[in-house]
Structures are given as C-alpha cells and as structure tokens.
Structure 1
Amino acid sequence: MTKLVADQADGLRRLLAHTPTRVIAVAGMGPGEDAAAATMNLGAALVHQGKDVLVLDEHGGTAAAICAAWAIDPLGDLADVADRRLSCEGAVARAGCGVGVLPAPLGDRHAEIDPRLLCRGGVVLIAAQIDAEGRLSALARMADELLLVLQPSAASITSAYAGIKRLHYAHGLKQLRFLVDGVAGAEEAQRITTNLANTGSRYLAVSLEAAGWVRADPHLADARRLRQTVVEAFPASPAAVDFRRVAVDMGGWPWRPAARAVRSVAAPPQGPRVDPPWVRATPAQRAAVA
C-alpha cells in the first residue's frame, strides 16, 4: 500500500510538473479604477486554490504599488532577474497569503524575459499600466489574456470603451476580458456586461468577454487599512466570495497560443516575439473599424 501511494504521489508530481504557466495582464481603464487591488485579491484567491502565484507589478514607485499596499519589501525587481543579478526567488517579496510580488517598473527591459519561466506551472499576474497613448508594455503584451477592470458608473464605462478603442488601434486588439468591480448585484452586472460586449462587437469588432463581477463591499476599505486583501481578512464577505468565484472561473478559460519572449532568463534569443491572439486582429476586423 505504501508503495502504491508513493507511486501515485510521484505520478501526480510528474503531471503537475508539465502544467503550463498561465499569464494574465490586469489593467484599470480609467481614473479611480483599483486594478492593483483586484490583482491582489485574485492572487490571494488563486493561492487559496493551491496555485503558485507571482505578481509582476508595473506600478513600482507609485501610489498603486502592490508591495506598498501589502507592506512588503522586495530585494530586487524584474531587471535584476533579467540581468541575473538575483534569482527570481531571491528578488521576490512574499505576502502573508503566499503571493509573490516582483516590481517590474516601466522602462526596464521587459521584452527580454519570458514571465512563464519565473513561475513554472503557476499563475503570473501582471499588474499592467496603460500609457497615455493607450499602449501596453512589452511585458503585458506577452500575457495569454488581458483582463480590464472597470466600475459600474457611466463615467467608468465610457472611459473603458475609449480605452478599449485605443488598445484596439495600438495593438490590433482582437479579444479581451473585463471585470466589473463594485456592482450592487448580479442584475446590474449582467446589464453592464451585455451592453459593453454588444458595443465592442458592433463598433470595434472586438470580442469582449465578461470575466465576472465583484459586489460593492465596505470590507474592502477595512482590508486595505489592515494591509491585506479582502480575501485574506474577511473571507466570508461578499467581495471575497466574488473574487474567489472569478478565480475559479479563470482556471476554465481556454488556453491560447502563448507569446514568445525575445530573450528568456535561461536561453539566448530564439527568434522574434509573437504576440498572442488577443493583440492581433484579422484583416476583416481591421476593415470593420477603418
């Protein structure tokens, strides 16, 4: 019996060793969009599922920096790992819930490292910044999925649509997912997601898929004051339940062909980087918005 259990455990380890790394870029689409908090909560919820989670934070040195929100201090950043001054584990700061955070300030050599090599078999969340021209960094463009965070207000939805339009023209955007944060309930969320998806399809030929929603919850502010996520501090709260539901759904998202980095930490260049499908539009889609 002992040998059977050992064989089964070894088989499970071998199976998990070949699990691909999922990379998701998370970005806010307007003033007041707390995409960093959404990234942190999704990371904590994924760890709760037993996932190994690494957050690459492009907000280093700003008020939205995730290390500051969690009150943790990294020993380095993504450039240190790319230049082999530090190992990933040596540079990462680890939150109390188990999420690893590595600052990835804009302007560093993001295109020269494949995030999939930093968290093999786990989930990499890129807390992405969108620049003034509506462009993503080279690092964020390596993601398998782009998840946009917006709020249910008219101003936020208008800003989100304008941002999606800029992303479309900047990158030939083909598809993305969005999360509505701060809704009153399922009915409001359904109305917003349906309207936004229809608008994107009709006017931009962009597939906008709802990733879910999170209810407005006063516990979010309490958790922030405690330097934790609501998933950690108040796991039974409505927002924590919603974040865990979205995290579970993320595991069922279909796998898309992964982008290749220009240079990885472990290997020399293997050819030009290929953008994933969500940043490529077909000729028909480009003609539809011309």
Structure 2
Amino acid sequence: MSKQVADQADGLRRLLAPAPTRVIAVASMARGAGATTTAMNIAAALVLQGKNVLLLDQHAARAGSVCAQWAIDALGTWTDVAQHRLRCAGAAVASGSGVHVLPAPPDPAVATSDPREFYQGGAILIDAAIDDEGRLLPLAQMADELVLVLQPTPSAVTAAYAGIKRLHYAHALKQARLIFNGVRDADSAQQMLTNLVNTGSRHLAVSLQDGGLVRADPHQADARRLYQTVVEAYGTSPAAVDFRRIADELWRSPWRSKVLRSRAAEQGHRIVDGAIDAAHAASHPAAAFQGSSF
C-alpha cells in the first residue's frame, strides 16, 4: 500500500472511530488537601479547551462538596442514571463554568456500572472518596487515570506514601499522578515532589508521575466567595495558570485504557477497517474480487 493510501486509510479510521471518553479520578490521602477544588478547576479548564465534561461527586453529602461550592443542585444522582431512572442529561446540573455535575454517593447497587456507558465523547472526572481502609470506591476504580493531591509538607508526603502503598496492595495500582497544592516555595516543593516520585517508583513498584505544582493564591478564597473556581473567576492568577497547565498536560498524556475499553476499541477498529475496505473496493472494483472464488 502506498503512503498516500495509508494516510487516507488512517484519516478515514480517525473520522469513523467513535470519540473515546476519558475517566479521571482525583483523590487525596487526607482531608483538606484540596482534591475537590483541584477536580473542579481541572474540569473548568477542560471546558475552556472545548471539552465536554461530567464531574461525578462522591462527596456529595459533605460540606464543601462540588455542588455546595458551585451553589447548584442536581435533579438526580449517579444511582438514578445507572439504574436507568433518569438520563444523564436530565439528572446532572450544569455549573456556570459549563461543567455538568452529578452527585455520586457510594451505592453498592451500582458498583459495577461503567460511567462510559452513560456519558460519551468527553471527559468524566470523579471527585473520588477513599474508604476507611484506604481503598478507592468502585466507581473510581474504573478510571483511566488516578490523580492524587497533597500538600507540600513532610507529614503530608509521609501520609501520601503510606496511602499509595495501601492503594497498590488493594488495587494492584501501577500508576498515579501526583499534584502538590498550596505551594509557597516552588523550589522546595518541586524537590520534595521529585523525591516522592523517585522513592515511590523505586520501592513500591508504582509508576508515579510529577503532575505539577499549584501555587498558593489568595484569589482562590475570593473565587469561593463568588461560588466559582479560580479558573473561572481569575483566569490569569497564579493558581489558575497552574490548573490550566495541569489540565492541558493531563489531557495530552497517553491514555491508560481499561481492558473493557480496549476490547471495545478493538471491535470498533475492526468495524472501521471494514468500512475502509469497502470504500477502497468501491473506488477499485477489480481489487474487490482478488482472491474470491465462485
């Protein structure tokens, strides 16, 4: 096959292939690290990039939840959607930023439901909860990417190391991305983050990645008083710039699809290849009969 035909085939494959949905879980090893705020800001930043974003809130019943911080009320929950009582578009509520939010409190009845079946062609972020034994809840276990948020302090790093170890043994965790939030001394925080990434990768058999630093920024408190994220309210402030950069790097990073996603993609790939063969046969009738027997 010539390079031109190969390029045309690749272009047709991309055109016909369904847009995948990326699922990203954001969690922290300790309360107060800013995981919910981080999830909200990343979601808002992805919307600014033109992405469709659904944010599933596993902390919906707590003060400081996503809905509380955005001062919005959803019409349903993830359970309503997963059990087909409501469509996702009817249950979720859109924030002022354009992020669609759906409360997702823990519910064993929908523990095996895959959010990709109900929201397609964009990004699904999960403001993920960790149970009392240090494990992710079932919904967050379906994520393609795990982002862990922590403060740049020795005690937070020690707690995070122990938490990552628990996640590794609970879920055979192989990869995670680390973000330091509330950074006042960038050089010191970067060194601490680099040390944690290297130590964890070497001793825990977990590939830890440097997800970036978010600088301490008084505009974040101002944004909360306005029921907005800093990305929405103060787009040029230090923290907003950091969140936008992190969201961009996160979206551009290689996807780590689940087996279920991979099998679906493989099936879709065969369908697209069949369409390419049909298109090629239509334009080259003689080629369609090569190798045929009658």
TM-superposed CA distance for 1:203, in Å, is 2.0
Which structure 2 residues correspond to residues 55-204 of structure 1 after superposition, within 5 A? Answer: 55-204=55-204
1:235-266: CA deviations, max 9, x gaps?
A: 110000000001110121112232539xxxxx
Residue 174 of structure 1 and its aligned partner are, at CA, apart by 1.3
Task: Work out the CA distance in 1 between the residues paired with 2:36 and 2:239.
Answer: 15
CA-based RMSD of the aligned residues comes to 1.9
Q: Mark the CA change 1:119 to 1:128 in structure 2 (over 3 Å): closer, same or farther.
A: same
The normalised TM-score by structure 1 is: 0.82
What residue is the counterpart of 2:207 in the other structure? Answer: 207
Question: Contact 2:26/2:125 (CA < 8 Å) preserved in 1?
Answer: yes
Structure with the higher helix share, 1 or 2: 2
**CA displacement 1:63-107 (0-9 Å, x = unmatched):** 132111110010000110111111000000110010000011013
The answer as to 2:269 corresponding to 1:247 is no
Deviations 1:16-67 (A, max 9, x none): 9722111000001113212111000000000000000000110011113211
Q: Would you say the 8 A contact 1:33–1:149 is kept in 2? A: yes
Inter-partner Cα distance in structure 1 for 2:111 and 2:142 = 8
Once the two structures are overlaid, the 10-residue window that deviates more, 190-199 or 86-95, is 190-199
**After alignment, is 140-149 or 159-168 more displaced?**
159-168
TM-score (norm 2): 0.81
Runs of 5+ unmatched residues, structure 1: 1-10, 262-290
SS in 1 for 2:130: coil
**Against the structure 1 CA distance between its residues 119 and 50, is the aligned structure 2 distance closer, same or farther, given a 3 Å change threshold?**
same
Q: Which amino acid aligns with 1:250?
A: L
State whether residues 81 and 118 of structure 2, in contact with CA within 8 Å, keep that contact through their aligned partners in structure 1: no
SS at match of 1:193: helix
Distance 1:16 1:155 in 2: 50
Q: Which moved more, 1:65-74 or 1:106-115?
A: 106-115
CA–CA separation in structure 1 for the residues paired with 2:27 and 2:191: 22
Once residues 15 and 23 of structure 2 are traced to their aligned partners in structure 1, the CA distance between those partners, rounded to angstroms, is 19
Decide whether the 8 Å contact of 2:83 with 2:110 is kept in 1.
Answer: no
Q: 1:259 to 1:68 in 2, by over 3 A?
A: farther
Aligned residues: 250
Q: 2: CA distance between counterparts of 1:44 and 1:167?
A: 28
Unaligned runs of 5+ in 2: 1-10, 262-294
Contact 2:79–2:107, Cα closer than 8 Å, also in 1: no
Question: d(CA) in 2 for partners of 1:257 and 1:99?
Answer: 23
Q: By how many angstroms is 1:220 displaced? A: 0.7
Deviations 1:138-162 (A, max 9, x none): 1111000110001101121111111
SS of structure 2 residue aligned to 1:44: helix
